[in-house]
Amino acid sequence: MGKVESIALRGHADSAEEGEDLVCAGVSTCFLGALNAISDQKQFKMDYSKGNGLVQVIGKPSVHDQLVLEVLKEQLTFVSDNKPLNVKIEKL
């Protein structure tokens, strides 16, 4: 697996009304779970607010923290593969 440098979330999944959207809730849960699992938060820029989020490497993450980002990427890819109309992965 390649190193993940950053993951950003933008907007609402639009699979249901805001507050009822299980796809959006699932993505948010994966993202917030990953942020909480990062052990050395000083190595990252992190932000999350109502469907918009960012986790970006700014230092030297541990093997554990890099693995957390890789797992998050795989989780989001799984959701995108199963709900392609609601979740899109863009690689920059």
The predicted pLDDT at position 19 comes to 84
DSSP letter assigned to residue 90: -
Domains located in the chain, CATH noted: 6-82 (3.30.70)
Answering whether pTM is above 0.85, one says yes
- Per-residue pLDDT for the chain (92 aa), expressed as one digit of tens each? 579 999 999 988 888 888 899 999 999 999 999 999 999 999 999 999 988 999 999 999 999 999 999 999 999 999 999 999 999 998 86
Is the CA virtual torsion 62, 6, 91, 69 positive or negative?
positive
Contacts 24+ apart (CB under 8 A), 47-53: 48/9, 51/9, 51/10, 51/11, 51/12, 51/24, 52/9, 52/10, 52/11, 53/7, 53/8, 53/9, 53/28
The predicted pLDDT at position 18 comes to 83
